[in-house]
Structure 1
Amino acid sequence: MKFLFVTKRSPQQRDLLARPYGRFYNLPVELARRGHEVRVLLCSHHHLLSERRAFEGVECISHDIRFLGPIGLRDYLCKEALVFAPDWVIGCSDAWYGPLAKHLARKVHACLALDAYDDYEAYMPWNWPLHLAWRDSLRAADLVTAAGPQLAQLLDRHRHGRAPTIVVPMAADAVFTPNDKAESRIALGLPDGAPLVGYTGSWARNRGTDTLLEAFELVRQQHPSVRLVLTGKPPRYATTQPGVIALGYVADMQLPLVLSSLNVACVITANSRFGRFSYPSKLCEAMACRIPVVASDSEPVRWMLKDDAQSLVPQGSATELAARIVDQLSEGAANYPPPPSWADSAAILEEALRCSAQ
């Protein structure tokens, strides 16, 4: 079959042409490996020239709304879709791409699929016109897929008797594999003998990350030698706390080394509309590296960890988070099942597309 994906160029602030990764890259590539013809339309808003690149059998075409204007972008995307003549148009990355994919699918008389990895309506709760357009595209779609069952149930509320949403799980990119702990620490300049607890996600108070600092202070009361390793750009009040090692932004290929250097990886979510339907990619990455994790207990995270109580902690509780970190430092082994691969998830998506096209 011929699949045309349409998504934003920089989901989660990462340029797919410069740094291909995640769901938006691996699902198209895995479908191409299965013998399908796959093309990806990328939309940006950074005043960039249109360009084309090929990755592992998938042609990616980027157009920019600020450079072309809304009507120009729509016309260019329609032209690309008409030339490719897909069997399926697949919209993903956020709510804007539901209505856009629906428009393209109608133009080329293709089936429409929508893929969601978050509750997109949580991003801009005030934007009701967009939410209504997203829900209308969910009703119109021949197939809807989601990163987990909780999100699938949420999307089904807007399907009004259409085929139920299919779960296509999140996975870690292939670079996330276990590495030797000592060698990983040497490569990153991290202390060899100290217990290392790490957090590699984005920092935001509304996601509960400040709880990690409170918990870390409690852990250090029992284990003064423990260190907290942070990546990215957390706030200064986090990086200047005693025992914190701030690595800053780390190259993509070094992120598996960061995880492999840790004794415990922390995944923090909050009891918010966003958090209740979040399937953290950072959790997939830590699981793929076989590092013990301590994760905020939400229904999606519990599902991802297959109810591994040893890894779960109530959201917002610094004392219980600290206690679970101490337990995991003593345990020293990852007991949860390995996560699915992108090949596994693509196989589910392929079967759903094949069945829905009949």
Structure 2
Amino acid sequence: MSKDVILDKYARLYEIPNQLSLLGHEVECFCLSYQSHKNGDWDESTNSKKLIWHSKSYIGLNKLSILSYPFYLLNLLSKNKPDIIIAASDIPHIVMGQWLAKKLDVPFVADLYDNFEGFGQAKIPGMKFLLRQAVCKAQLITTTSQALAELVTQEYGAKGIIISMPSTIDHKFFNCADKFEARKKLGLSNNKKYIGTAGGLYKDKGVEVIYEAWEIIKDRIANVDLVIAGPFETDLPPPRSARVHYLGALAHQDVATLFQALDVGIISILDTPFGRYCFPQKAYEMLACDLPVVVADIGEMKYLFACEPDMLFRAEDAEDLAKKLEHQLLIPKQVNIPIEDWSVIIKSLELRLTNLVS
């Protein structure tokens, strides 16, 4: 997700354990770092919650020892047996979570925040098989979209309870705010129109069509600039121009400031196994900031914006994206879609979890 779940307190990977702890449950989280972070423990417990995070990393010559991590966790959890195990993040964590739950004889929950078969890990022989096998053994499965829930039901053949549970947002940051003040914070002008996006600026996330559409837009509308933020690949850097503002990889709350500063937000998704089953969190983030948007007509977005065809563009079609952006710049339109708080969503999930252990 290009974020640190512990330090950035980012999205569902943070909010599921956080909200469960606020509901009175003792929650302990174990993270495996693939990027050689230092080992660490973070205790977020307060008078109102008990939440502890652990991060384990295998650095340098110790990388091969990563294969012992499941046994390390099993030893820890055997000393203080949990009532339930929830696994998330990616294929190895889902597979490991199911294995641990079986060893400890406790219920297993798999949280699929994306279609993990669209991740690079899935190219490793046997990984898809292990993922499907683990998910099919879960008593409860949460997915980020209805399309993914249907995939798990129809193709995986999962028999557990399956809940479509799209990620939501932190309304403390993502809300309607003064556009001029947001632009001032980001060093943007009040005399221009801005289109843009934030997130992973990668080819497999659909950024290429945004750059192609920009080449069309910049020649048609003189007073429009492109603003983008997020990590990018060296072979596909952001366009270099006085009218392109690359803001780097922004902190989560600063992404909200960007969406408050824009005139039109862009959500590009490719027609891939990943794109067809994902639920881009930036959709809710932009909508919460009352930002007019233009969205690729793929997967869940096609249904979410079904009543607003002028906001949908054909995926990977730069000309259609440019056309829809022009329309939104000329006649801005917002869409009112209710967005529940994490507290409401996880409260509903908690009822399902407690039924598994009662």
2:147 is equivalent to residue 150 of structure 1 = yes
The secondary structure found in structure 2 opposite 1:183 is helix
- Structure 1 residues 225 and 48, CA, compared in 2 at 3 Å: closer, same or farther? closer
Tell me which residue corresponds to 2:350: 350
- Contact 1:135 1:158 (C-alpha < 8 Å) held by counterparts: no
Displacement of 1:90? 0.6
Asked whether the 8 Å contact 1:143–1:165 carries over to 2, the reply is: yes
Could you tell me how far apart the structure 2 residues matched to 1:84 and 1:307 are? 51
1:157-236 matched pairs, under 5 angstroms = 157=154, 159-160=156-157, 162-174=159-171, 175-234=173-232
Taking structure 1 as the reference length, the TM-score comes to 0.89
Q: Which runs of 5+ in 1 are unaligned?
A: 1-11
- CA distance in 2: counterparts of 1:280 and 1:342, whole angstroms: 16
User: Which stretch of structure 1 is more off in the superposition, 75-84 or 109-118?
Assistant: 75-84
Matches of 1:161 and 1:179 in 2, distance apart?
A: 43
Alignment of 1:1-358 (within 5 A): 12-55=1-44, 57=49, 58-66=51-59, 67=62, 69-124=65-120, 125-157=122-154, 159-160=156-157, 162-174=159-171, 175-234=173-232, 238-241=238-241, 243-305=243-305, 307-358=307-358
Shift of 1:164: 4.2
* Counterpart-to-counterpart distance in 1, 2:307 and 2:76: 45
Going from structure 1 to structure 2, the CA distance change for 1:19 and 1:237 (only over 3 Å counts) comes to: closer
Given that 1:118 and 1:277 are in contact with CA atoms closer than 8 Å, whether structure 2 keeps it comes out as yes
Aligned equivalents of 1:348, 1:328: Cα separation in 2: 36
Rate the CA distance shift 1:263–1:33 in 2: closer, same or farther, 3 A.
same
Aligned length: 347
Q: Deviations over 1:195-253 (max 9, x none)?
A: 11011122223333221122223333442100100112446763314621112222333
Structure 2 CA distance for partners of 1:86 and 1:187, relative to 1, 3 Å: same
> Residue 8 of structure 1 corresponds to which residue in structure 2?
none
Q: SS of 2:27's equivalent?
A: strand
Matched to 2:112, the amino acid is: A
Structure 1: how far apart are the matches of 2:289 and 2:343? 17
Instruction: Please identify, of 300-309 and 24-33, the stretch whose mean Cα deviation from structure 2 is larger.
Output: 300-309
What is the aligned-residue RMSD (CA, Å)?
Answer: 2.2
Quote the offset at 1:126 in angstroms: 2.6
Q: Which runs of 5+ in 2 are unaligned?
A: none
Which amino acid letter does the alignment assign opposite residue 258 of structure 1?
Answer: L
CA distance in 2, matches of 1:94, 1:307: 33
Residue 356 of structure 1: CA displacement? 3.8
Q: Is the 8 A contact 1:89 1:105 kept in 2?
A: yes
Q: Secondary structure at the match of 1:60?
A: strand
Residues 139 and 161, structure 2, Cα contact 8 Å, conserved in 1 = no
Distance change (3 Å), C-alpha of 1:161 and 1:28: closer
Provide the identity percentage: 24
Moved more, 324-333 or 65-74: 65-74
- Superimposed CA distance per residue, residues 161-217 of structure 1 (whole angstroms, 9 cap, x where no aligned partner): 613421111112342222210000011110111011011122223333221122223
Q: Deviations over 1:64-98 (max 9, x none)?
A: 24458235422331133223322110110111112
CA contact (8 A) 2:137 2:160 kept: no
Q: TM-score, normalised by structure 2?
A: 0.89
